[in-house]
Amino acid sequence: MKIGIVGFQGDVQEHFEMFTRIANMGKNVSAIIIRRENELDNVDGLVIPGGESTTIYKLIKEYNIYDKIKEKFSEGFPIMGTCAGLILLSKNTNDPRVEGMGMLDSEILRNGYGRQGESFIDLINIKGIGEVPGVFIRAPVIKDTGTTEVLAYYKNQPVMIYSRYALGMTFHPELTEDTRIHEMFMKMVEGEGYISTGEGIGVMTK
């Protein structure tokens, strides 16, 4: 399995190192950094990292990656977005500078948890995984989850959502040593769909 990481800005290396850690655990996965449109044809899934959503958006549009990602997603290409990546995956970003891709039927408020100085780390209970450390850095708020399935809340606020081939979260799993969220995404990549069991993340279908 080969996972691409959009590589213009943000926590690119941290995601790369997370998949490297999983590979060192004996799992069949490798990661490459994506900066060109044609490189998307060489990966099985994609991560859009946390960072500055306006900068990432500007560069993926400039390098013709934005439309290519949407095209591949329509064909069943799995994508995970963390923090800024979630903003880009959402239908409504509430930011005229960033046109959401609409892969998650969600409405987002940028920096909803506050500025850099109000960043924090706390445990989050995720369906199908259990407690994981959540790193919130200028994190967006999910104002409306739409038709997505909520996989985790923090103080009654949704912080992780899912919809078939798209997985998004307001926090940064790549800034911890816990590999379970990245492994969850790998299970999405291995499957071709999702059936909710009502208990945990669900069952991947072939």
Residue 149: half-sphere exposure toward Cβ, Cα within 13 Å? 19
Q: Count of CB atoms within 10 A of residue 87's CB? A: 29
Question: Of these residues, 37, 75, 83, 199, which one is catalytic?
Answer: 83
* Residue 172 annotated to the active site: yes
CA atoms of 151 and 2, how far apart (whole Å): 25
- Distances in whole angstroms, Cα of residue 199 to Cα of each of 152, 155, 185, 186: 13, 20, 17, 19
Parallel, antiparallel, or unpaired: how do β-strands 2-6 and 30-34 relate?
parallel
* Residue 131 annotated to the active site: no
């104002």: which residue's tokens?
Answer: 143
Tokens matching residue 5 = 């990481």
Residue 104 β-bridge partners = 90
Question: Of these residues, 172, 177, 183, 192, which one is catalytic?
Answer: 172
Under 8 Å between Cβ of 144 and 154: no
Under 8 Å between Cβ of 181 and 173: yes
Residue 82 β-bridge partners = 169
Question: Of these residues, 99, 149, 174, 190, which one is catalytic?
Answer: 174
Amino acid (one-letter) located at 141:
V
The residues that are catalytic are 83, 172, 174
